[in-house]
Amino acid sequence: MGEIRASEVVSAACDALVAGLDTPGLRTLAACTRAEADYDVHDLLPTALAELGLSFYPVASKVGQEAAARALARHMLAGELTPREFTLRIHQRYGHELPLTERLAELDDEYDILEYGDRTMDQVDAEVAAEARRLATRPTVPAHLTDTPS
């Protein structure tokens, strides 16, 4: 979702090998040097994830954007982001264009006008938290069902 560097993906692959996961693609990914990581991770990651039975969602796809939004929601719920930081990131990434996150973009706008309205920061924070819970618990739809041309 664009939140970590390619070298961190390589480190995670190494950690997975140490933890006992072992596939050819994971070994290839873990073998990347820091210099190679920026160039090779994007090509190697889908294979490594598939071998582990995990889904890879291209970042630019609708399903990838939705998966990234759900991941950010989980980060907020874990206390790694404030509600305001969460809505700002969602709004910056997707504007008002991604239906799944439209309400969050609207709530980001509400933060900007709090001093002129009748809502408080706590009220907007509570609504953001409710939206984050909705996103975090939303089932993931397989890519082949959502990105298929009609």
Do both 68 and 123 map to the same domain? Answer: yes
- Residue 100 belongs to some domain of the structure: yes
Q: Give the list of residues 6+ apart from residue 70 with CB closer than 8 angstroms, or none.
A: 135, 136, 138, 140
Structural domain containing residue 14: 6-51
pLDDT in tens, the chain (150 residues): 566 788 889 999 999 999 999 999 999 999 999 888 889 998 999 999 999 998 888 777 888 888 889 989 999 999 999 999 999 999 999 999 999 999 999 999 999 999 998 999 999 999 999 999 999 987 665 544 444 443
Q: What is the reported pLDDT for 140?
A: 64
The count of structural domains within the chain is 2
Has residue 1 been placed in a domain?
A: no
**Are residues 66 and 19 part of one domain?**
no
At residue 143, the pLDDT reads 44
pLDDT at 139: 67
The answer to whether residues 130 and 75 belong to one domain is yes
The answer to the question of residue 93 being in a domain is: yes
The pLDDT value recorded for residue 82 is 97
> Token pair for residue 122?
């706590």
Per-residue pLDDT at 147 = 46
Indicate yes or no: pTM above 0.75. Answer: no
What pLDDT is recorded for position 68?
87
Q: Same domain for 71 and 117?
A: yes
Same-domain check for residues 33 and 79: no
Residues 26 and 66 in one domain: no
Tell me if 142 is assigned to some domain: no
Closest among 57, 46, 61, 60 to 13, alpha carbons compared:
46
Does residue 82 sit in the same domain as residue 129?
yes
Same domain, 72 and 46: no
